[in-house]
Amino acid sequence: MSTHINAANKGDIAESILLPGDPLRAKFIAETYLNDPKCFNEIRGMLGYTGTYKGVPVSVMGTGMGMPSMGIYSWELITEYDVQNLIRIGTAGSFHKDIKIKDIVIGMSASTDSNYIHAFDVPGTYAPCASWELLSKARDASEKLEIPFKAGNIVSCDVFYEFGDWWKKWAKMDVMAVEMEAAALYMNAAYNSVNAMAMMTISDHFVTGERSTAEERQKSFTDMMELALEIATK
């Protein structure tokens, strides 16, 4: 079988998958970390691979930018390919001085300004959260690999180029950082009773103005990649 955006057949994708936004980051992870990686998708340039890590099958696939794109890819991975554990590995912008460039943050919850939740017809305000199963594995993997992370509330926003001091209001509510995909991933996972977690490396800083280069975003965030792979194969 295949879908209009995924050329994979049933069984080509592992139960656990890493989801970077950038498909070239997926390619880098597959070629750097996976044994015998096989490309299962090239449609729309959204590269996906399956191989093994420490003897355990694991997949990695790009999702593109924003909640609509993450929503489509993650929904099909869950409902068409039976993926059970989805780990977003991306980048985020920090709102606080003590959360620095290249720090890893995990979204225990994902606030959002998106209307994505309206698709589920929930009679109230929904709070998208990560799966405890993956969070507990992240804690154990962090101790084992000695790769620290910070965990808390993040915000998933629909607009990349926003103006003014909007972010300070989120920071005042102790939101750690901003990204664009986690809330949709968490909603899809919750609706379909599977596990999801969003892990990001800080690439931009709203307080200091620091920014990572495009190459650093694609290839240098190896601590996050190794931590995610350890979680996916536990």
From residue 11, alpha-carbon distances to 7, 57, 130 in Å are 12, 11, 25
134 burial via Cβ count (<10 Å: 0-12, 13-18, 19+): buried
103, 158, 174, 204: the catalytic one is 204
45 burial via Cβ count (<10 Å: 0-12, 13-18, 19+): exposed
Q: Which residues is 88 bridged to in the sheet?
A: 19, 198
The token duo for 153 is 């509330």
How many other C-beta atoms can be found within 10 angstroms of the C-beta atom of residue 74? 28
Query: Which of these, 155, 188, 154, 174, lies nearest to 69 by C-alpha position?
Result: 188
* Cα–Cα distance, 103 to 37 (Å, whole number): 28
The token duo for 156 is 């998933």
The token duo for 10 is 């049933």
Active site residue 204: yes
* Cα–Cα distance, 68 to 133 (Å, whole number): 25
Catalogue the active-site residues: 204
